[in-house]
Structure 1
């Protein structure tokens, strides 16, 4: 395929190239890969969501960068990619969760919510005059009322394809973080161990992270909870001490 032919397929968001690709979807995935990393970890007690907050200036308030979002009492999400696109999807997810509560008097299931948002994402790849969302979400929570249901963790993709994961990362450094999660995740992982694993995974992408540039939330039978900065700092300090001890042994 010559350059002119490829550019012709670039101009359409709903056109397949001869080799079966939609270039605009691939560009949207690249926008996700350039975003600050976010990750989700499923544990025996709930789900851990974590993300790195990047500031473009020392004068910017880091707390104004929202990477983790509460959707409902037992639902949360993490985002990577274009912030504005992610905010739109988060607003739609919250609306869907509240609509289900008002209509049926019960919380919306994690899988159902993920497929609802994925359907919306997929529609942007099907009609002309639109572009794919340049953002990906990790949607996590407990099904039902959160008292007896098992933790669930899903990922959405700019193509509109949902996937369920035990542990997954999105954003920059995704390959290295995912490799670390695959090597260290286990079925018996507790919530506290999941928080520590999340911090260690983010340090894989940036070993100079501090507690203020990391945001973590947990979703358990007690609901959605933001982990405090002091708790994150304790984990980072403990991990640093463990590394120092291992170097002394060597």
Structure 2
């Protein structure tokens, strides 16, 4: 990627492709995702798990006020890596779309469709002047009609793809390597949660450890079809099993 004077026009303009086919502002939005706290999702036959890492930017920060896993509707949740303010806007939009669908059709929104709706908004912000791309990637997971687990990730470009396991943020590469070596689709719900936590633990630096205060865990199992977040005591209990 060139950064000299000849590249400055492509660097500044969101709507102009560089000669090598890049949209630099979209590429920079991906960099914002890579700098975010590690976030991951796992899908097995038993259900879906979303796990988000929480870190203190300063010792004065109340870490309990940080939210990394969000309920979008009864059957679906999400987490993100990247700019928290961008994530909040898209999460609020996803919630409003899910609620609107329930009010109009009296049924839960399809998770693939909900992801597409959010991704369409992100894509629009890559081709209009006067705006910038969303510097955030969302992992969306839950249980669709027919007790079908779903896990998708939507990128800053507006592209979205389904996954068995996916990790983004600072530790995304390391966690992905862990999944590639250890993923199994036949895990029960507790083992699915433990797989996700172990993947997150693999990204830690020497001397660091996971505690119930610095992670958030949400999951949806196929039996109930409901997405719920684990409480502090539940997180503490399952961390004892590592």
Same-fold call, TM > 0.5? yes
Instruction: Quote the offset at 1:143 in angstroms.
Output: 1.2
Q: Which of 190, 193, 210 is the aligned partner of 1:195?
A: 193
Cα distance between partner residues in 1 of 2:193 and 2:3: 49
Stretches (4+) displaced over 6 A: none
**Contact 2:46–2:186 (CA under 8 A) maintained in structure 1:** no
Gapped regions of structure 1 (runs ≥ 5): 240-250
Residue 234 of structure 2 is matched in structure 1 by 231
Deviations 1:61-118 (A, max 9, x none): 1121111100000010011100000000001100110111111111101100011110
TM-score w.r.t. the length of structure 2 is: 0.94
**Contact 1:68–1:217 (CA under 8 A) maintained in structure 2:** yes
Instruction: Quote the offset at 1:9 in angstroms.
Output: 0.6
Deviations 1:46-74 (A, max 9, x none): 10000101111222111211111000000
Deviations 1:8-57 (A, max 9, x none): 11111111000000000110000000000110000222100001011112
State whether structure 2 residue 158 is matched by structure 1 residue 157: no
1:25-40 → structure 2 map (5 Å cutoff): 25-40=26-41
TM-score w.r.t. the length of structure 1 is: 0.91
Residue 220 of structure 2 is matched in structure 1 by 219
Instruction: Flag the structure with higher helix content.
Output: 1
Cα distance between partner residues in 1 of 2:71 and 2:61: 23
Partner of 2:18: helix, strand, or coil?
coil
**Contact 2:36–2:81 (CA under 8 A) maintained in structure 1:** yes
Between Structure 1 and Structure 2, how many residues are aligned? Answer: 236
Residue 75 of structure 2 is matched in structure 1 by 74
Residue 101 of structure 1 is matched in structure 2 by 102
**Contact 2:138–2:154 (CA under 8 A) maintained in structure 1:** yes
**Contact 1:109–1:142 (CA under 8 A) maintained in structure 2:** no
Partner of 2:235: helix, strand, or coil?
helix
Gapped regions of structure 2 (runs ≥ 5): none
Instruction: Quote the offset at 1:2 in angstroms.
Output: 6.5
